[in-house]
Homo-oligomer: A and B are copies of this chain.
C-alpha cells in the first residue's frame, strides 16, 4: 500500500515540475530534467548525506518509469491540467506526508538523533522543490511563504512523541504522515504562513 502512495506522490511531484518548467519555456529535455529532480531531488540529497549509494532511484526503476510516463502525460495534456488541479494538490500533499515519514525512518535505521531524522524527513519531502526553483533561477518558494516544511517538522515531532507510547510501528507511520497532510491542508485553507522577519537597522 505504501508503494502505491509513493507512486501517487511521485506523479504529483513530477507534474509540479513539468508545470514550472513549461512556465519557463524550457525545451522538452529541460522539462523532463526538472520533472525528474523535483520528484527525486529530496530523496537523493537524503541518500547522499547518509551515504546510501547508489541513490534510491538508481536501483529501483519504478521511479524512472513513473516519472517519464507522468511527465509525458502532463506535457500532452498541458491544456487540460486545470481540471486536475485539486487532485494534483491532494497527491502532492499526500506525497509530502509519505516522503517525510520515509525520510525519518531512513535516519532511524542508521540510529541518527531524532532532530536529524526530522531534518532528513523534511528534506526528502521538500528539497526536490528547492532544486526545481534553483534550476529555474528563482528564490526557492519554500523559503518565502510556505507552511510546507513546517508541516513536515510538525509530523516529525508527532512521530517521535508517538514512538514513546506502546503503539504499533505502522500506526506511528500512518498517523504522523496524516499529521503532515492535515497541517498542510489546514494551512492552505486558512492561509496560515510563518511570519517573515526583517531588520531595518542593518544595511
Contact = CB atoms under 8 A, between A and B. Distances in A.
How many copies of the shown chain assemble into the complex?
A: 3
A113 B116 CA distance: 32
Interface stretch (A47-55, A95-103, A162-170, A172-180): A47-55
B59 A112 contact: yes
A54 B136 contact: no
Interface residues of A, number: 63
A22 B195 CA distance: 11
A195 B28 contact: yes
Nearest to A18: B197
Contacts of A31: 197
Nearest to A143: B30
A197 B150 contact: no
A201 B78 CA distance: 8
A58 B112 contact: yes
A2 B87 CA distance: 51
A28 B137 contact: no
A75 to B, nearest CB: 6
A79 B199 contact: yes
Contact of A30 (B19, B22, B112, B144): B144
Nearest to A21: B143
A189 interface: no
Given A27-B194, A64-B113, A78-B199, 12 more contacts: A19-B199, A22-B202, A25-B196, A28-B194, A31-B197, A49-B54, A49-B58, A50-B58, A57-B116, A58-B113, A78-B197, A81-B199
